[in-house]
């Protein structure tokens, strides 16, 4: 049943909604036609029956006026001939007055007082004589009311055979043509629907005939107005898909180009070392240098591959689904700890500022956000890696987590004392494989693109500014650090973050030293 609902036919559904009312209304039409036919058939026969009632009334009045007692009433041959059954229906008459029933040729019930009409007015009612239905016409004879409501009443009844026959003929005349018209109407509806849905089949054939690489918009000409929104939505999807494929092709081309450099260096150093060995040159220093170059090239290639994998993970839709509450301060603290050896190697003061551990706990209290811990860790590692990469020896890098007292946002900041990024390049640095010229730093150009992609997946905003705007104008003395870069990522807080966490918040700045697990600090003179 579920599969049928998924694959139901639009043509069949429209046809059903059009034909089902016809199939329901047709029996109702037959019943209404029969009732109308009964009313139509009664009219001429009621007029005939009323004429018989008046004829019988005049006969009664004539005999009473001639002095003959009503108890001795008998119809004349002329009246009897007029009241005689016609061979198809059984006709009977009945006469009565206030004293009771008088002679007649059929048992008919006397009319109740509340049904009494003016003398001379013929009325009708339906009744059963035995088990057979009859139509009764009755009238109080005018001019014989002697006071006290004693005017005689005459009634004439007849069976319904000819009425039913006429009603049947009327119904046949109306219904029988419908047996021809209804199938014809169904056929015409079928053809009309097929003709109306033909543009959909045309669009389907045009799409089927397309090659897999043709993502051009579908022509909207000769398309019904009702289908045009669907075609426009498909064209919008094709445009987005084309843009995505172009971006992927561009990304793959850039990735292949970027991987060529470390791989070429790796191959060159390996060939150089091989030629030196074949030439009998066994200079240990030269071999060590070649091996170091091979190691650096392989490390650069591995870093590039890891960045590409991280970019793919950030762009994958499923990662946006795997979200849960994440302690932002704890992730930032772990990221700082991972980069302590590298900061010590470059003599960079690497610090963390954020909430102190909760009372009696090891993990820091702090803001919670909804997100993927894997992707958020990758975002922080790329920000810290980028800061350490561009910060000169003896500089400082600070990772900072700021909580919103109103529980609306959680802020992550990474600040360095490097050369900073020019205002005109601040948007371009988030593009894949873009690197600022003149820095002398060999990077992959993917780190900040990964940061932007992961932040977008989490509904966060990434901004870039100078860490110290006063040094932007270049008036600082020679040897002083540059304006630095300040990356700020604003995450929407988790719903439960509106309730303030227990314990006091303290700003904790840990400098790197031997034995420190949260930060590293090495002075240039050490």
pLDDT value of position 489 = 93
Average pLDDT, integer, range 396-417: 88
Q: Which of 41-45, 96-100, 275-279 has the highest mean pLDDT?
A: 41-45
Average pLDDT, integer, range 476-488: 73
pTM: 0.48
Tens of pLDDT along 27-46? 888 788 888 887 887 888 88
Residue 17, SS3?
helix
Q: Which of 270-279, 312-321, 368-377 has the highest mean pLDDT?
A: 368-377
Q: How far apart are CA 469 and CA 451, in angstroms?
A: 23
Q: Which of 386-390, 435-439, 508-512 has the highest mean pLDDT?
A: 386-390
Q: Give the angle subtended at the CA of 419 by the CAs of 417 and 420, to the nearest 5°.
A: 85
pLDDT value of position 359 = 54
Domains in the chain (CATH in brackets) are 9-168 (3.30.450), 214-315 (1.10.287.130), 322-498 (3.30.565.10)
Residue 187's alpha-carbon distances to 50, 203, 496, 513, in angstroms, are 49, 25, 63, 90
Q: Return the higher-pLDDT residue of 415 and 7.
A: 415
Q: Return the higher-pLDDT residue of 451 and 115.
A: 451
pLDDT value of position 172 = 79
Average pLDDT, integer, range 59-87: 76
pLDDT value of position 473 = 60
Examine the pLDDT at 521 and tell me if it is beyond 50.
no
pLDDT class for 152, splitting at 50, 70, 90? confident
First to last CA, the chain: 77
Residue 88, SS3?
coil
What is the number of helices (H) and of strands (E) in the chain? 11, 12
Tokens read off for 322: 């795997």
Specify the DSSP element, H or E, that contains 97.
strand 91-97
Our CA dihedral for 307, 311, 314, 318, rounded to 10 degrees, sits at -110
Q: How far apart are CA 434 and CA 471, in angstroms?
A: 24
Tens of pLDDT along 384-393? 988 888 888 8
Examine the pLDDT at 271 and tell me if it is beyond 80.
no
pLDDT value of position 1 = 42
Average pLDDT, integer, range 484-489: 91
Q: Cβ(95)–Cβ(140) under 8 Å?
A: no
pLDDT value of position 488 = 93
pLDDT value of position 496 = 60
pLDDT value of position 397 = 93
CB neighbour list of residue 353: distance below 8 Å, 6 or more residues apart: 398, 399, 400, 401, 507, 508, 509
Point out the least confidently predicted range of 83-87, 357-361, 414-418: 357-361
Residue 381's alpha-carbon distances to 313, 338, 376, 461, in angstroms, are 15, 9, 9, 17
Q: Return the higher-pLDDT residue of 73 and 47.
A: 47
**DSSP per-residue string spanning 393-436:** TT-EEEEEEEE-TTSSEEEEEEEE-S----GGGTTGGGSTT---
The position carrying tokens 């209404």 is: 32
pLDDT class for 371, splitting at 50, 70, 90? confident
% pLDDT > 70, the chain: 71
Neighbour tally for 289: CB within 10 Å: 14
Q: How far apart are CA 56 and CA 155, in angstroms?
A: 8
pLDDT value of position 205 = 81
Tokens read off for 306: 């890891």
Q: Cβ(465)–Cβ(488) under 8 Å?
A: yes
Point out the least confidently predicted range of 16-20, 118-122, 336-340, 472-476: 472-476
Examine the pLDDT at 149 and tell me if it is beyond 70.
no
Mean pLDDT score of the chain, rounded to an integer?
Answer: 75
Point out the least confidently predicted range of 165-174, 214-223, 417-426, 501-510: 501-510
Residue 490, SS3?
strand
């Amino acid at each position: 049943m579920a599969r049928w609902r998924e694959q139901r036919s639009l043509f069949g559904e429209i046809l059903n909604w059009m034909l089902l009312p016809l199939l329901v209304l047709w029996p109702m039409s037959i019943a209404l036609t029969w009732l109308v036919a009964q009313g139509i058939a009664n009219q001429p026969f009621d007029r005939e029956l009323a004429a018989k009632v008046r004829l019988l009334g005049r006969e009664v009045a004539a005999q009473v006026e001639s002095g003959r007692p009503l108890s001795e009433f008998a119809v004349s041959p002329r009246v009897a001939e007029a009241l005689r059954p016609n061979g198809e229906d059984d006709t009977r008459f009945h006469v009565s007055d206030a004293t009771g029933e008088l002679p007649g040729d059929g048992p008919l019930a006397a009319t109740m007082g509340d049904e009494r009409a003016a003398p001379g007015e013929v009325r009708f009612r339906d009744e059963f004589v035995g088990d057979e239905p009859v139509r009764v016409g009755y009238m109080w004879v005018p001019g014989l009311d002697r006071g006290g409501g004693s005017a005689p009443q005459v009634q004439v009844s007849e069976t319904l055979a000819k009425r039913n026959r006429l009603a049947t003929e009327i119904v046949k005349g109306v219904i029988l043509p419908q047996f021809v018209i209804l199938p014809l109407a169904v056929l015409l509806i079928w053809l009309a629907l097929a003709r109306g849905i033909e543009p959909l089949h045309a669009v389907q054939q045009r799409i089927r005939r397309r090659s897999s690489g043709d993502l051009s918009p579908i022509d909207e000409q000769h398309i019904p107005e009702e289908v045009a929104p669907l075609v426009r939505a498909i064209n919008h999807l094709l445009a987005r898909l084309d843009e995505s494929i172009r971006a992927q092709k561009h990304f793959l081309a850039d990735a292949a180009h970027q991987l060529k450099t470390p791989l070429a260096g790796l191959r060159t150093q390996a060939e150089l070392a091989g030629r030196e060995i074949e030439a009998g040159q066994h200079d240990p220093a030269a071999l060590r240098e070649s091996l170091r170059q091979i190691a650096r090239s392989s490390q650069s290639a591995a870093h590039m591959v890891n960045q590409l994998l991280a970019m793919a993970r950030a762009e994958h839709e499923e990662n946006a689904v795997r979200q849960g509450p994440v302690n932002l301060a704890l992730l930032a603290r772990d990221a700082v700890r991972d980069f302590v050896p590298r900061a010590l190697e470059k003599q960079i003061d690497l610090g963390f500022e954020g909430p102190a551990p909760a009372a009696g706990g090891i993990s820091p209290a702090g803001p919670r956000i909804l997100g993927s811990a894997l992707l958020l860790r990758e975002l922080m590692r790329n920000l810290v890696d980028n800061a350490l990469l561009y910060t000169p020896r003896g500089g400082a890098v600070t990772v900072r987590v700021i909580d919103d007292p109103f529980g609306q946002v959680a802020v992550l900041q990474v600040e360095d004392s490097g050369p900073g990024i020019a205002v005109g390049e601040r948007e371009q640095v988030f593009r894949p494989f873009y690197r600022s010229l003149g820095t002398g730093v060999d990077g992959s150009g993917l780190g900040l693109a990964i940061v932007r992609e992961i932040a977008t997946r989490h509904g966060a905003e990434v901004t870039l500014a100078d860490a110290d705007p006063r040094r932007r104008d270049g008036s600082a003395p020679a040897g002083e650090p540059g304006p630095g870069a300040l990356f700020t990522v604003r995450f929407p807080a988790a719903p439960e973050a509106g309730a303030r966490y227990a314990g006091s918040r303290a700003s904790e700045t840990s400098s790197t030293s031997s034995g420190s697990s949260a930060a590293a600090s090495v002075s240039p003179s050490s």
